[in-house]
Structures are given as C-alpha cells and as structure tokens.
Amino acid sequence: MRLDKYLSEMGAGTRSELKKAVRAGRVTVNGVKVRDAAIHVEKDDEICMDGERVAYEQFVYYLMNKPAGVISATEDTRDRTVLDLLDGQQRKGLFPVGRLDRDTEGLLLITNDGELAHRLLSPKNHVDKVYFARLDGPVGETERRLFAEGLRVDETLTAMPARLDVLEPANEVKVTIREGKFHQIKRMFAAVGREVLYLKRLSMGPLVLDGSLAPGTYRRLTEEEESAIISL
Ligand code: URA
C-alpha cells in the first residue's frame, strides 16, 4: 500500500499531515529516507517516523474509563461520543464494544476488531460483565435469589441467571451478567422495585478497570490483556 496510507492507518496522522512529514524527510523505509508519500510499502517493511518505528498492527485495543455524559457510539449529531475522547490521531474503523448508557461510567473496550467484539458480546461465550450500582434503597436475599434464578424483567426480557452481591450499605451492589440487553441492569432493578442512581462497569471478562484511569481517559491494552481477550 502507499506509504501515506500505511502511516495514516497506523494512526500516525492525517493523510495531508503525513504527506508533509514525508516531504520534510521525517520518514524512513528500511533505513532509507524517502520523500515521496506515494511509494509502495509492505507490512513487514521497517517504517520509522521521527526515528520511531511505526509497526504494522492490524488491530488495536483501547481500554477507556467512560465518563458520564458521552454516548457509546461512533458518531452522533448532537452529543460527544467516546471516539471524540480519543486523540486526533485516531485510526479509522474504531468502535466501542457494546454500549454503556450515556449516564453509565466505567470500562469500555474500543477496537477495530469486529470478530473479537462479537465473541465478547455473545451470551453464548459466557463473558462476565461486572457492574457496581448504587440504588434508591436497600436490597437483600430476596433480590439475590431472584437474580440468581433468572429474573423475568418484562414481556420482552427474561434475564439469564445473574449474580448479585449486596455490599455495605445495602443500597450498593455488584452485579455480574453475561448478556447486555438494552438498559439491562436498570431494567432488572426496576423489576424488583429499585431505581439505579449510579452505574459503573468494573470489568468485562479478563479486562478490569484499574484505578489509575481517570474518567474520560484511556490506554492501550497490555500484552497480557490483549492475549487474554484474543484467546476467549
Ligand atoms: N445496564 C444498563 O442498564 N445500562 C448500562 O449502561 C449497562 C448495563
């Protein structure tokens, strides 16, 4: 593929920025400075910009701590989306894996790997999603049992068995589910007469939100995290 296309696909800048960078002599291919952004390169060529290797990676994975007030979508005409929180050099084809409501915070995986997204979201694959919720009142053993049995939420949804851990105080809970239906957690609590006042996703399979990621920030997955989700 063309050199500028390669670099822009790897998130090194926009096509026009990259054309300028190449013309300015900032890019080398296999150790040789090039000035033409249209030259053909291969995925295993050693391409460097400003002396730093820009290796070919087909897929990228980001772990974000989604803040409240942004939409889990790739674009929206009115509101900011989670992709707007990525820096300007973002790659094409990125999307959030599953949706968190606008007011929900917490762990969100952003990738361009469609097959992996499908595997993570399919209830058949039993990938646990753990949420912390603060409710408008306490819950206890009755709700724990109802959730464990597979709660009938309404005419359209009977939830798969879910784990409810009641914390201290008893209006704070951890819920573990394996599916991700529209407003699932809020609807499950509504079905037992409780309102969710605050909701945050803590983990998704092997991915855990670490305390160092402030809301609205993100990082690349570590190698261990990446291989853990790829082998799911
Ligand atoms: N369940 C909900 O109700 N909302 C979310 O954002 C995620 C799960």
Query: Do residues 146 and 190 make contact, with C-beta atoms less than 8 angstroms apart?
Result: no
Q: How far is CA 68 from CA 61, 187, 215, in A?
A: 21, 19, 8
Angle in degrees, 0-180, between the axes of helices 223-230 and 114-121, rounded to the nearest 10? 70
Winning range, highest mean pLDDT, from 11-15, 75-79, 124-128, 201-205:
201-205
| pLDDT confidence of residue 123 | 83
Residue to substitute in 100, 102, 154 for testing ligand 1 pocket (most ligand atoms within 8 angstroms of CB) = 100
Closest approach atom of ligand 1 to CA 187? 3
Q: Where are the alpha helices (DSSP H) in 75-152?
A: 114-121, 141-149
Q: Is 100 in the pocket of ligand 1 (CB under 6 A)?
A: yes
Same domain assignment for residues 214 and 200: no
- Is a pLDDT exceeding 90 seen at residue 75? no
Between residues 76 and 220, which one has the greater pLDDT?
220
Distance between CA atoms of residues 146 and 193, nearest Å? 12
Same domain assignment for residues 69 and 98: yes
Q: Is 226 in the pocket of ligand 1 (CB under 6 A)?
A: no
Q: Is 102 in the pocket of ligand 1 (CB under 6 A)?
A: no
Same domain assignment for residues 197 and 97: no
Domain count, the chain: 3
- Is a pLDDT exceeding 80 seen at residue 91? no
Query: Do residues 46 and 53 make contact, with C-beta atoms less than 8 angstroms apart?
Result: yes
How many angstroms separate the alpha carbon of residue 182 from the centre of ligand 1?
Answer: 7
Alpha carbon nearest to ligand 1 atom 7, residue:
100
Per annotation, catalytic residue among 101, 103, 136, 165: 101
- Is a pLDDT exceeding 80 seen at residue 21? yes
The predicted model gives 197-224 an average pLDDT of 95
Q: What percent of the chain has pLDDT over 90?
A: 86
- Is a pLDDT exceeding 90 seen at residue 152? yes
| pLDDT confidence of residue 69 | 97
Same domain assignment for residues 49 and 86: no
- Return the CATH number at 85: 3.30.70.580
Strand duo 152-154 + 163-166: pairing: unpaired
Same domain assignment for residues 153 and 40: no
* Residue 101 a catalytic site member: yes
Same domain assignment for residues 117 and 224: yes
Q: What is the pTM of this model?
A: 0.90
Q: How confident is the model at residue 89 (pLDDT cuts 50, 70, 90)?
A: low
- Return the CATH number at 162: 3.30.70.1560
Closest approach atom of ligand 1 to CA 196? 3
- Is a pLDDT exceeding 70 seen at residue 28? yes
| pLDDT confidence of residue 227 | 95
Helix or strand (DSSP H, E) at 155: none
The predicted model gives 20-47 an average pLDDT of 96
| pLDDT confidence of residue 124 | 87
Between residues 11 and 195, which one has the greater pLDDT?
195
| pLDDT confidence of residue 50 | 96
| pLDDT confidence of residue 55 | 93
| pLDDT confidence of residue 70 | 97
pLDDT, mean over the chain: 94
- Residues spanned by the domain of 133: 128-204
Residue to substitute in 160, 178, 184 for testing ligand 1 pocket (most ligand atoms within 8 angstroms of CB) = 184
Query: Do residues 221 and 208 make contact, with C-beta atoms less than 8 angstroms apart?
Result: no
| pLDDT confidence of residue 88 | 67
